[in-house]
Chain A
């Protein structure tokens, strides 16, 4: 009964650390245009969940499917459909903002969608094309990472606290990029502390820590 349209269909999903589950089993059903916000107190395993989905941590599940295909063992299939924005932004200090953007896409074997200058302008980094990433502020570095996201057409986004280090305009940028992504039929899971500073319609998933 796998719904082949679901971007992520997980059942009885748990992350493991030293063979012990971190939180009670959860179910995730993400179709086109769905946004899921993962909540839970610190250490409940929000970041671990995103990493585990990508194979960077052990998880067990009764079912883990992407577009009807079981990816529990072939996680690279899920990885090929995902973009992950972690706490560390993987920006190389010596490379310029534009170089970092092109590099991140090339490493993921993705084509750059849209004009780079327009993308940077959209995230509020106009004029910073040739600035080395090391001389950007934390907020600007986050915007550079967001530009990379906006340039990608992968269906499933995993965003780990996308609003951290961002001012009001930054949050609006996240919201507009996210809205556009969802409108294109993508889906996203994001982790966040406290109330969401955006008005996008989202479902909640609460992680109940086990100990």
Chain B
């Protein structure tokens, strides 16, 4: 009878480690504000031009910021041998991957979604778009985390994998970006975002079932 204890332990561990290294967790949030700052400056801070582009910019920024944190997902565990202990353990690796993805999503997915209002403020996002923006970000980052999980697992044992990570995740982020940003655009044009949001949710659920087993398989490759 395998209890959920190992998976809860891993989730708790990652959250506690993140709390102990609070600065690391805030880095992607700071990066997001920086990227938005760059866009606002480049576009000229003119409200009429910023508002229509606010949603797409926020969505791209959130994906880029979330992407930054992928490198650290397994890096620490590889360096101190914790990953090998997990691989040598009797708990299901797929279950551990779910715990790992959930921890990452809570920290960076939810984190960035909660930070989105600040980004929206900076980009003069019309207030009525905020609800659909937050919903789409929450659903989208859940899917994005799964894509990130696979990419991080595939590159866990490689020394420098920055660009490679981007090359792996960006094509797979695309559908999430399309439906996520599309749902906000729909509301901006006065349509209902239901269709786009449902497709976004379907995409995330699909990735939720695909990613952990794929990541577990990828991690087993590294040690043959």
Contact = CB atoms under 8 A, between A and B. Distances in A.
A touches B (Cβ under 8 A): yes
Interface of A: 51, 54-58, 76, 79-80, 82, 84, 86-95, 99, 103-104, 106-109
Given A76-B90, A92-B13, A107-B6, A56 B223 contact: yes
B160 interface: no
A55 B10 contact: no
A121 B93 CA distance: 33
Nearest to A111: B5
B47 interface: no
Contacts of A95: 13, 16-17, 20
Nearest 4 CB-CB pairs, A to B?
A88-B81, A106-B9, A80-B90, A94-B20
Given A80-B90, A107-B86, 9 more contacts: A51-B223, A79-B90, A86-B85, A90-B80, A90-B84, A92-B82, A103-B9, A107-B10, A109-B5
Contacts of A106: 5-6, 8-9
Contacts of A56: 84, 87-88, 223
30 contacts: A51-B84, A55-B87, A56-B87, A56-B223, A57-B224, A58-B224, A80-B90, A88-B79, A89-B80, A90-B80, A90-B81, A90-B82, A90-B84, A91-B80, A92-B80, A94-B16, A99-B16, A103-B13, A106-B5, A106-B8, A107-B9, A107-B13, A107-B85, A107-B89, A108-B90, A108-B91, A109-B2, A109-B5, A109-B6, A109-B90
Interface residues of B, number: 27
Interface string B104-121: 000000000000000000
Contacts of A82: 88
A195 B5 CA distance: 41
Nearest to A93: B80
Nearest to B77: A90
B74 to A, nearest CB: 13
Interface in B7-42: 8-10, 13, 16-17, 20-21
Contact of A79 (B13, B79, B88): B88
B3 A109 contact: yes
Interface string B48-83: 000000000000000000000000000010011110
A149 B84 CA distance: 16
Contacts of A90: 80-82, 84-85
